[in-house]
Amino acid sequence: MNDFSAVKESQAAYTPPDAPPSLPGLLLRAEPVTGKCYVLTFSSKHNLTLADMTAKEIVPVVRTWTSIYTAHLSPSSPLAKLAAPTHLPPSNPHTDVSKPTEKYRWMQIFENKGAAMGCSNPHPHGQIWTTTTLPEEPALELEQLKKYYREQGGGHMLIDYAKMERERKERVVFENETFLVLCPWWATWPFETMIVPVKQLRSLVDLTGPEQEHLAEAISDITRRYDNLFETSFPYSMGIHQAPLDATDEEVECSTLHLHFYPPLLRSATVRKFLVGYEMMAEPQRDITPEQAAERLRNCGGELYRKKLGGKTLEPQDEKFTDL
């Protein structure tokens, strides 16, 4: 459990101080949110990031994500009927994952890697936030996925997009039987990537054992390429989007499991992109094209650079990031 949770299961009830037709009641809107926040370490070793771990070592992380997601699914969700029984470890000083006491709408699984992304704990870890409301970003995504599904006679936008990218190849960084790693056409960050499936997968629950391994392989590959790009422990924010925990049949069917990686580095290990000025006030601008970014990342495959340093042990969290 997160020691400083942004949301809690039990908290004081919120009552709006004003109601329409008063101006504060008309213009200032707020709603209560409850939830649970978890912290998930990727390895017992303090110096291992996802980039240092093999796909086989990342599989347990994927399975733990799946177990926690499954444990919080609404019983009325179509996914709950298909989900395998979840056997979460009992609560103890080191593990605090239990069945939720409330019905939650959304689960956000994410990782902030590196001080540049606000990570204060050097032990590589991710977080899981569950909330009673659907946050803005996934809500906007879901609306567009539903719109495409209706207008294209049951088509899935991200699956169709993956098919197009798989055929063109120019923005694809890595692929296996189940997933593509690509630099999206609409990317904002210089080396922004997505992991998207090549067939419709609504959530982690839909993954078979081999498909969990394929996801772990994709995560291992892109994080290693990131570190190799500038030979540094590459900072990023990564998050998983999938079907909401409590969802209608349509919302579940329209959702597609995918991962976003938002890294800030631009030209080197110490030079980052800033979203300021025109980009903040008008719209983001590309510093390099997604095709250029994909080509550079494709050229960064192979063994992790840290393993080529002649026996020298380098702790990933010891690599420093400075703004220039």
The pLDDT value recorded for residue 44 is: 87
The pLDDT value recorded for residue 91 is: 45
Domains of the chain: 23-270+277-303 (3.30.428.10)
The pLDDT value recorded for residue 99 is: 63
Most confident range (mean pLDDT) of 89-93, 100-104, 191-195 is 191-195
Compute the mean pLDDT over every residue in the chain, rounded to the nearest whole number: 88
Out of 24-33, 69-78, 164-173, 207-216, which region has the weakest mean confidence (pLDDT)?
24-33
Residue 231: which region, alpha, beta or left (left: phi > 0; alpha: psi -120 to 50)?
Answer: left
The residue written with tokens 């609504």 in the block is 202
Average pLDDT on 110-127 reads 79
Measured distance CA(212)–CA(215) in Å, rounded = 5
Residues 256/263, Cβ–Cβ less than 8 Å: no
**pLDDT surpasses 70 at 324:** no
The pLDDT value recorded for residue 317 is: 47
Most confident range (mean pLDDT) of 5-9, 18-22, 165-169, 305-309 is 165-169
Cα-to-chain-centroid distance, residue 200: 18
- Residue 3: pLDDT band (50, 70, 90) is low
Average pLDDT on 62-77 reads 95
**pLDDT surpasses 90 at 216:** yes
Average pLDDT on 268-282 reads 91
The pLDDT value recorded for residue 215 is: 98
**pLDDT surpasses 50 at 85:** yes
**pLDDT surpasses 90 at 8:** no
- Residue 36: pLDDT band (50, 70, 90) is very high
The pLDDT value recorded for residue 164 is: 98
β-pair type (125-131, 35-41): antiparallel
Measured distance CA(97)–CA(91) in Å, rounded = 6
DSSP structural state of residue 159: H
The CA-to-CA distance between both ends of the chain, in Å, stands at 36
Q: Is 70 exposed, middle or buried (0-12, 13-18, 19+ CB in 10 A)?
A: buried
Among candidate residues 226, 227, 252, 197, the one with its CA nearest the CA of residue 81: 252
Residue 72: CB atoms within 10 Å: 22
Catalytic residue, from 46, 125, 241, 260: name it.
125
Measured distance CA(244)–CA(254) in Å, rounded = 11
For residue 324, what are its two tokens? 């220039």
Q: Does 125 qualify as catalytic in the annotation?
A: yes
Residues 55/178, Cβ–Cβ less than 8 Å: no
- Residue 320: pLDDT band (50, 70, 90) is very low
**pLDDT surpasses 80 at 231:** yes
Average pLDDT on 267-290 reads 92
For the full predicted model, state whether its pTM sits above 0.85.
yes
175 beta partners:
180
Q: Please give the backbone phi and psi of residue 72, each rounded to the nearest 5 degrees, phi first.
A: -105, 0
**pLDDT surpasses 80 at 243:** yes
149-162 tens-digit pLDDT: 999 999 999 999 99
